[in-house]
Each structure stands twice: as C-alpha cells, then as structure tokens.
Chains A and B, each alone.
Chain A
Amino acid sequence: MDSNAVMTDTKQYIILRFDAEQYGIDITYIDNIVRLQPITRVPHTQPYFLGVINLRGEIIPVMSLRRKFELEDKENTPASRILIIKTEGNKIGILVDEVREVVTLTEEDTEKLGSDTNDMKAYIMAVGKYNDTLISILNIGGLIADIDNEY
C-alpha cells in the first residue's frame, strides 16, 4: 500500500455495465467472476432468480439484477458474466452485462446518497467519479438483506 492510500480512505470497486450506465460493487463482496454457463431454471421461485449453477461442486443461485430492478431482459452476449458474491459464507451469483475494470476511489471521489425511492436507485448508496464518468455504487449488503427477507 502506498502512502497516499493510507492518508485517505480508499476502496476498490468492480465496475459493471448495464446498458449505458456503469455501476460499482465493493470488491470485498466479490468471491469470483465466472463466464456465463448454463443456468438451471428453478420453478416457482422469486421472479428475479434465473436459477442455479454449479461452481466447482457447489450449487449457487443466480439472480438477474435487471429483473430485480424491473428492467427488461436482454440477450446475453459473450461479455456477460456471473459475479459470485459472498456474504456470511453464503454465495449468490449476479448476472451482469459486462465487467469493465477494477478502480480505486477515495472517499473524496464519492458522494453518499440517501435512499428514498423504491427502484434501482434504492440500492445506490453513493455516486463516484472516475475519469470524468459517473459510477453508481451499489449497496450490495442492503440488496442481499432484502432478498434474505423475502426468502
């Protein structure tokens, strides 16, 4: 770690793309990023769950952020990835259009938001600025907690 990093609070984010927008996820949540593989549909489950996949012998449910945020489904492309998120030992996969890069943002680069709306914005806890583009930082903890409550 260089001295700059120690001085200011920095965090690393994985940058994802949905349509034209970019979102960031705190890298400490990420267990793995895997290529798209066949997803086995599970009947009668929550609508935003696409099904389950096999990750090295472990069966992991995969959800679609698009469906969760009530965006329209989109064809998967070779750039589509499944992000494996790990919380308290449980794993969950999130299908995303594309994984761009990992960036480091200082606290000064990000601006916290209060959440009041009930759509995707509810899960955006901050907006970060990186190379003149805006990145919406997702509140993964809150998202998982909500899914857990619905479970």
Chain B
Amino acid sequence: MDLSQYLEIFIDETKEHLQNLNDQVLILEAEPENIDTVNEIFRAAHSLKGMAGTMGFKRMQRLTHDMENVFSEIRNGKLNVNADMVDIVFKCLDAIEGYLNNIIETSDEGTEDNEELITLLNDALNGVSEEPKQEKPKQEQPQTPVAGSEDRKKYKQIAIADFEKNAMLEAKEKGMHVYATTVYIQESCLLKAARAFLVFKSVESNGEIIKSVPSVQDIEDERFEFDFSMFIISEKTLEEVKKCIENVSEIEEAVIEEYEIPNEAIDSTAKSEEKEETATEAKTEKNDDSKKKTVSKGSKPVVNRSVRVDIEKLDDLMNLVSELIIAKNGLVSVGGVNSGQGQVFNEQIEYLERVTTNLHESVMKVRMVPIESVVNRFPRMIRDLSKKLNKEMELIMTGEDTELDRTVIDEIGDPLMHMLRNAADHGLESTIDRLKIGKPKVGTIRLDAYQDGNNVTIEVSDDGAGVDVEKIKRKAVEKGQISPEQAEYMTDKEAVDLLFMPAFSTAEKISDISGRGVGLDVVKNKIEGLGGDVEVQTKLGEGTTFIVRLPLTLAIIQALMVKVKSEMYAIPLNSIVTLEEILPEDIKYVHTKEVINLRGQVIPLVRLDEILDIEACEEEEEEDNDSIVVVIVKKGDKQAGLVIDKLLGQQEIVIKPLGKYIRVPKMISGATILGNGEVALIIDSNTLV
C-alpha cells in the first residue's frame, strides 16, 4: 500500500504528540503522582505507536511500544516515577524525534535501533513485581477464543481498557446495567453517519456510552462499514435500550446483551481498589468526564473547519492585496486632482478604501500564527540546560498566544533560543553562588510576549547576575574593539550594546551551550532583518532583560508621508509618538548637538535633510523660518525628533525592496509606490534614535 500521501499527516501528528509528550513528562517530573498526566502520556505514546506501526516504521514502533508499556505499569500503580526514569523517557523522546527527522528527510526511519534505550526501558519494567506479568496473558485469553463464535456479536472482539472496566464496575455497584451492543445499519442507507449520530443521541438520553468502536470521531467522519459497537451504562432494561436504538429509521438490527465484565479484570481492579481506593475513584471519575466530553462532542456534528494552505499561496494573495492597495492609492490621487468630479466619486473611493483595508487585515490575520508553536519547545530545553549546567532554574512563559506573521515566526525561533541559552548559561549564577548572596535557589528565566500597538514585544529576562559593564569594557579594550579612552567615556548603555558586536563573548570559559562568539550579533542581525530591534536592560546583581520588538506585519503598514526639501519620505506610524511644531529659539545645544526640551524631556534633533544628504536645491518659496515641524519618534524609551519641512498626511503603504545592486543606507528600510506611480523611500527611524 502506498502510504506516502499520509506521510505529511503522520509527520505533523507525530510532531504534535512529541510536543505533548515533552510537555507532559515535564509536568510529571514536577508532580510524579499526577495520574492525569500519566494517562495523557500513555495515550500519546499509544497513538504514536499505532501511527508508527501503520506507516511501517518498525523501529519507532518498537521504541514507543516499550515506552507505552512502562507508562501502562505506572498507570496501574505498579511502577513509580523517579528522576532516572524521566531521564530515560526524555532520551526516548529525543530518539523518536531522531526517527522523525530521518523520516522527514528521507521518508525512512533510518537504521538506529536504540537498543540501549530499549534495554533501559525494559530494566525499568523489570523493576516491577512479577504479578502483572502473569496477569497480562490471562486478560487476553477470554477475549480471543470467543471471536467468531457468534458473528453478529462483534463487540465480543473489542478489548476493554482498564479504565473502562472500572467505569463499568462502578456502574454495576450502583445497580445500573452494562450493555454491549453491535448496531447494524441497512446497507441501502445513504447517510449512515447521520443515522449513527441519531443512535448515539437516543442512547444518551437513556444512559451513557462508555466506549464505541469505531470512535465517535471516526463514525462522524463516516469512517466505518455498516455496523458499529458500543458499551452502554443505563438504568433502563435491555428491551428499552434495544428499542430506542432500533427506533431510529434505517437501523437494521441492534444485537444487544448484558455485558459480562471479564472475571480477571474484576479481580485485578478489585485488588487495586483495595490498595488505593481513592486514586481509582478519582481516575474513574476523570474517565467518566472525558467520556462525557467525547459524547457531548458527538451531539453536534462538528465538521473540521480549518484548511491547510501552502504558505506560498498566502504570499501570492498578499502580493495581490499589495497591488490592489497601490491601485487604490492611484485612484485616490486622481480623485485629489479632479476634485470637481463630485461627491459620488469620493464616496466610492472611500468605500473602496474601506474594503481594501479590511481585505488587507483579513489576509494578514490568516497569516498570523501564535508564537506558541515556536516557544513550546523551550521548557524542555531549559530543563536539559538545567541538568547540563547543574544550575537550578525554571522557565516562566506568558503570552504564548500572541500572534505574529508566519514569516516572522519561522525566523524568530533561533534568536529566542540563543537568548534563553544566554540567560541560562551567562545570566544565572550557579546555585551555590545564588545561595551565598541570598537569592532564591532556583533561578528564574522569563519569556513574556505581548502585543504593543503595531508591534509585538518579546522579553527574555533572568534574575541572574546582570551584565558587568566594567568587565565588558575591559574585554572590548583587550580585543581592540574600542580604545581605553573610548571605554572611559562610554555610558553604561553603550557598553552593554557592545554585547552585540560580532565575536564578542564575555564568558570566561567557552561551553557548548553558548559563548562561541556567534551569539548576540547574529541575534541582532536576524531581528533587524525582520524589521525589528533588540535592546538590553540590565542591573548588576539583579538580572538582565532582552527586549525584542517585532513588526506585526511585514508587507503593508500605515505611514506618515513627509516632505523634506523637495523629496518625499514615509515614516512608519508605529514608531511615531507625536508631531510637534517648535520655534527656532526652542533649539538648545548640548555638546554642539541640537536638542529640544519637550515637556521636561530632552530630545535630540535629527535634521533629516542633512542625514539624507538632500541638496538645498531650488529656493523653496517658504523661507518663513518661524516654525519647524518635528516628528517625535521612539525606540524603546529613547526618543528623537526628526526635522521635516512639511506633513503630507497618513497613508497605507506597501513596503517593497529596492532591488539588488544598489547600496541602501541603514536609515532606509525600503521603498513604496505612491498613488501617482512615483517611488518614496521609507525611513527606518529606529536607526536614527
């Protein structure tokens, strides 16, 4: 059978399960007694095994099978979770990821058997008492031979999981009936999923469905032949239940009988019930809950409402929207010229403007992905780092649901990882040192993401030692990156920014975690390449915070159009704080640099005409000189005032690259096409602050 068409789904789902497993095992490590987590892990491992088996990945199947066994024992209370076991399980997850990566690259799982891990898993299993081993074959015996004796009673072939047995036992104790049934739908039936759904609904009004084969989801999706089986708990009599099923039209027959719960199962559960009654109770309740959930899900036939779309198609769509906005801007400017055209034209233009803006927003939203998909691998990474570095630390994440453009998401993972590693390796002190200076033993690393206007901010912070400014200066002087005199006059802020210089590492010893000199300058370049910026705040002894700001979207932004001498420029709106009109005498000088005092804050002035090298060409008619327009822009909490000549208004602009070959200065982040077809450059005010 050709399974290649399912490969993609397999890869996606395996990734999801692996992520889930990583998360759950982390929880388990913290709370070894958490039975919900164990169940969750067991289920995920079980699904992984099944999927690997279906796809014919034997080695992966074997490994997951053994892992599942271990968790099955833990779940039955026969095995306790300890640190060694968690380590083994994490190694297994890495090994499975290894298989997966092989599969992604070559469609084959590779030849690594991971014998060592399997042995470790089995050793863990053998720590278990002999009791469960004898029990297992017994449980299977009563089920297999019955098969085939009564063809129509297909439910006899269904294996019942322990928790299901428990639920049945509980029901029996409460004096309810447990029925097993196989429902046959007429083969002429066209909407068998709908019929099955009606059966479920009708049974639910009379009792509770413990288990159905195939699963409710599969039945909803019509992935079954003309029969399905259920186990039902009900207070009603056999006849009543049978009738309520057969009352649904196009149902051929419901083969039903009181279900006899296999004896061994009763024994073993009874035993375990004696041992830890409370735990079992909790477990059963939980299982009942989860069953209820699945069933109630069945009560409204939800169709899967999401579609997988190739990112390239979205890019195309975005490009088309860009073109449309340029065309719209063209129309707007034509309207401006022939304003005699009347109101109707203007109304239509406004309407068009609204539609294109909404269209742009919708397309943008489609491209947005929560950063969760990037950051969810970090808790595991920090755990491993903690072991490796022998430092106790925890990672606290907030705002994982913050959304960013897909292209940004794809690029942001590595820089964030770098910063986290830095925080773990360089930021946090060793556990002993922390205790010495009276800090909490466990170091805290935080990753906080939130939306801030048209930007998304991600902060990576630690409560470690902070950056030693003097040490950085010394290092920089040693490396000849700055002169001793420069170091003397450098502000702390400037010194901290030295961290972003290429090949700068203050780590005394170079470890394989960070400090290979390819750290922060790469991070900075990457983030700036995405149109964002990064900043460090640090306090010696208290910790360091890296603040990354990223644009919400890359392609289309709101901008303020300004005129400087005879040239037109666009300044992105998201960096603008206010617009001010000042008088020439308001300008003061600090170190021969022009500044203004704006409501108590001293803000340096940037003469755009000088910085952009604009020639004072034809004498502009307005030599009035009495007021100067200043655009106040911000970067973090720093501000600067850009001196311009004229405001032209706000406009939605499409950012375009300037093409190859031409060298573009740092303060220009791109170009845009105006309504009249001309090109205006976009000023990256971040570089001017």
Question: In the complex, how many angstroms separate the beta carbon of A7 from the nearest chain B beta carbon?
Answer: 38
Which residues of A lie under 8 Å from residue B612 when comparing CB positions? 43
Which residues of A lie under 8 Å from residue B611 when comparing CB positions? 43
The verdict on B671 contacting chain A, using a C-beta distance below 8 Å, is yes
Select which of B614, B664, B679 is within 8 A of A40 by beta carbon.
Answer: B679
The verdict on A46 contacting chain B, using a C-beta distance below 8 Å, is yes
Contact B662 A45 (CB under 8 A): yes
Contact A52 B671 (CB under 8 A): yes
The verdict on B623 contacting chain A, using a C-beta distance below 8 Å, is no
The verdict on A44 contacting chain B, using a C-beta distance below 8 Å, is yes
Select which of B656, B668, B678 is within 8 A of A42 by beta carbon.
Answer: B668
Contact with A along B657-689 (1 / 0, CB 8 A): 111111111001001010001111100000000
The verdict on A13 contacting chain B, using a C-beta distance below 8 Å, is no
Which residues of B lie under 8 Å from residue A41 when comparing CB positions? 567
The verdict on B619 contacting chain A, using a C-beta distance below 8 Å, is no
Contact B677 A59 (CB under 8 A): no
Question: In the complex, how many angstroms separate the beta carbon of B201 from the nearest chain A beta carbon?
Answer: 56
Inter-chain CA distance A41–B678, complex, in Å, is 11
Contact B663 A45 (CB under 8 A): yes
The verdict on B233 contacting chain A, using a C-beta distance below 8 Å, is no
Which residues of B lie under 8 Å from residue A38 when comparing CB positions? 678
Choose, from A14-22, A25-33, A69-77, A143-151, the stretch at the interface.
A143-151
Contact A61 B613 (CB under 8 A): no
Inter-chain CA distance A57–B673, complex, in Å, is 7
Contact with A along B70-114 (1 / 0, CB 8 A): 000000000000000000000000000000000000000000000
The verdict on A131 contacting chain B, using a C-beta distance below 8 Å, is no
Which residues of B lie under 8 Å from residue A40 when comparing CB positions? 567, 671, 678-681
Inter-chain CA distance A51–B661, complex, in Å, is 11
Contact A42 B567 (CB under 8 A): no
Contact B613 A44 (CB under 8 A): yes
The verdict on A65 contacting chain B, using a C-beta distance below 8 Å, is no
Contact with A along B623-667 (1 / 0, CB 8 A): 000000000000000000000000000000000111111111100
Contact with B along A47-89 (1 / 0, CB 8 A): 0010111100111110100000000000000000000000000
The verdict on A137 contacting chain B, using a C-beta distance below 8 Å, is no
The verdict on A138 contacting chain B, using a C-beta distance below 8 Å, is no
Given contacts A40-B681, A52-B679, contact A46 B673 (CB under 8 A): no
The verdict on A90 contacting chain B, using a C-beta distance below 8 Å, is yes
Given contacts A52-B659, A52-B679, contact A57 B323 (CB under 8 A): yes
Contact B659 A42 (CB under 8 A): no
Q: Which residue of B lies closest to A91 (CB)?
A: B659
Question: In the complex, how many angstroms separate the beta carbon of B326 from the nearest chain A beta carbon?
Answer: 6
Q: Which of B320-358 contact A (CB under 8 A)?
A: 323, 326
Select which of B668, B677, B678 is within 8 A of A43 by beta carbon.
Answer: B668
Select which of A43, A61, A148 is within 8 A of B659 by beta carbon.
Answer: A61
Given contacts A41-B567, A45-B665, A57-B326, contact A90 B659 (CB under 8 A): yes
Q: Which of A1-24 contact B (CB under 8 A)?
A: none
The verdict on A99 contacting chain B, using a C-beta distance below 8 Å, is no
Which residues of B lie under 8 Å from residue A148 when comparing CB positions? 660-661
Contact A52 B658 (CB under 8 A): yes
Which residues of A lie under 8 Å from residue B658 when comparing CB positions? 42, 52, 59, 61
Question: In the complex, how many angstroms separate the beta carbon of B644 from the nearest chain A beta carbon?
Answer: 15
Contact A45 B323 (CB under 8 A): no
Contact B613 A54 (CB under 8 A): no
Contact B671 A61 (CB under 8 A): no
Contact B567 A90 (CB under 8 A): no
Question: In the complex, how many angstroms separate the beta carbon of A97 from the nearest chain B beta carbon?
Answer: 22
Question: In the complex, how many angstroms separate the beta carbon of B632 from the nearest chain A beta carbon?
Answer: 22
Contact B656 A59 (CB under 8 A): yes
The verdict on A96 contacting chain B, using a C-beta distance below 8 Å, is no
Question: In the complex, how many angstroms separate the beta carbon of A24 from the nearest chain B beta carbon?
Answer: 22
Given contacts A52-B671, A59-B679, contact A144 B657 (CB under 8 A): no
Contact A92 B664 (CB under 8 A): no
Contact A49 B660 (CB under 8 A): no
Contact B613 A59 (CB under 8 A): no
Which residues of B lie under 8 Å from residue A51 when comparing CB positions? 679
Contact A45 B678 (CB under 8 A): no
Inter-chain CA distance A52–B665, complex, in Å, is 14
Inter-chain CA distance A40–B570, complex, in Å, is 13
User: 6 A–B contact pairs at CB < 8 A?
Assistant: A52-B659, A52-B662, A59-B673, A59-B679, A60-B659, A147-B661
Interface residues of A (CB under 8 A from B): 37-38, 40-46, 49, 51-54, 57-61, 63, 90-92, 144, 147-148, 150-151
Q: Ordered nearest first, which 10 A-B pairs have the shortest CB separation?
A: A61-B662, A44-B665, A40-B679, A90-B660, A43-B612, A43-B613, A45-B663, A61-B659, A59-B656, A54-B673
Contacts A40-B679, A52-B679 supplied; 6 other A-B pairs, CB < 8 Å: A40-B678, A42-B658, A42-B681, A43-B665, A44-B663, A54-B673
